[in-house]
Structure 1
Amino acid sequence: MPTVADIMERDPITVSPEDSVETLLKVLRTHELPGVPVVNGGGRPVGIVTEADLVMVDEEEDLRLPLHIDLFGAQIFLGPVKRFEERFRKAIAATVGDMMTEDPITVDADTDVKEAARIIAERRHNRLPVVEHGRLVGVVTRLDVLEALVSEE
């Protein structure tokens, strides 16, 4: 059974949390990528930014506060404020760190392809950062995994 190391894209394009959103957009456009891992100075993945992080759709467009009631001069929110705070943070993002999804799901380079396929399917991700000893060494995509599984049969 092949491992993720056998099929991954090595030396992937990355950005840092300190990079500007403008730099991020240039990287995505230049390399025609739908997403990119965010790594710290030590090469460890600390986040990921995908096209979904860049686009606000439907009810998110106007960033309405959750429903609330005023009671004795205080606002009591009837819905989760955390979701609003997350959307707001991404809407006004100036850096990649403001926009990224933190703590990305990663796979080890020695993970077998079937396990990577399971993770991709369950988490509905299109790409996973690949690590060795905690450091980013590659990226494996849904297409990479599908091609490996088909060629194995």
Structure 2
Amino acid sequence: MQARDLMETDVQTVASDDDVADVFRKFARHEFSGFPVVDEAGRVVGVVTESDLVDLFEPEDETLWIPIGLPPFVDTLTYQVKAPWADLDLGVDMVRNADRPVSDVMSADVATVTPDAPIDEVLDLLAGDDPDINRVPVLDDEGRVVGIVARQDVVQAFRDTRLD
């Protein structure tokens, strides 16, 4: 079995210069959690996930430093603080980030395969050390997307072969 046997050929992509707001809308319209990002020639230059966009609304510094004692405060306590979603002003954050290009938030290091890649290569990527890899774009010799293999595609293929 090869990547071509598992891949979905109707692949939704976004352009590297698309606005974050456009990508949010695309996530709302499609049941995907990530899109390959392509340049003007259609070559893959990255991948953007829902998590990448959610990160725009999380505070960068979640560490709270509390001074102990009297000045000059030679000792501190450190706490991790996670602000609840209800306390964040999503409207302001959306306006602030809406015009940013997706290239600012995408992951540029993309795990890809060719259509002839054996299933073991796809499995190594999807079940490897990087838990964030949930889909693998399938690229032609020019670096253009011809398909995509999601983790669920591999699981379904193995289920189907067991039922045969």
Show the 5 A alignment for 1:1-153. 2-56=1-55, 61-64=58-61, 92=97, 94-122=100-128, 123-124=130-131, 125-133=133-141, 134-153=143-162
- If the length of structure 2 is used for normalisation, what is the TM-score? 0.69
Shift of 1:16: 0.6
Query: Contact conserved, 1:114 with 1:149, CA < 8 A, in 2?
Result: no
- If the length of structure 1 is used for normalisation, what is the TM-score? 0.74
Find the aligned partners of 1:61 and 1:143 in 2 and give their Cα distance: 28
Across the aligned residues of Structure 1 and Structure 2, the Cα RMSD in angstroms comes to 2.4
Instruction: Mark the runs of 5 or more structure 2 residues left unpaired by the alignment.
Output: 64-95
Query: Contact conserved, 2:45 with 2:108, CA < 8 A, in 1?
Result: yes
Shift of 1:65: 9.4
Give the fraction of aligned pairs with identical amino acids, expressed as a percent.
Answer: 37
Query: Contact conserved, 1:113 with 1:148, CA < 8 A, in 2?
Result: no
Query: For each residue in 1:51-93, what CA deviation from the matched residue of structure 2 results, as whole angstroms up to 9, or x when unmatched?
Result: 1211239xx9332399xxxxxxxxxxxxxxxxxxxxxxxx957
Find the aligned partners of 2:38 and 2:6 in 1 and give their Cα distance: 21
Instruction: Mark the runs of 5 or more structure 1 residues left unpaired by the alignment.
Output: 67-90
Query: Contact conserved, 1:48 with 1:104, CA < 8 A, in 2?
Result: yes
Task: Spell out structure 1 runs of 4+ moving beyond 3 A.
Answer: none
Find the aligned partners of 1:116 and 1:42 in 2 and give their Cα distance: 25
Query: Contact conserved, 1:113 with 1:149, CA < 8 A, in 2?
Result: no
In structure 2, the CA distance between the partners of 1:10 and 1:118, relative to structure 1 (3 Å rule), is same
Query: For each residue in 1:20-68, what CA deviation from the matched residue of structure 2 results, as whole angstroms up to 9, or x when unmatched?
Result: 01110111111121110001111111000111211239xx9332399xx
Number of aligned residue pairs = 127
Find the aligned partners of 2:59 and 2:37 in 1 and give their Cα distance: 27
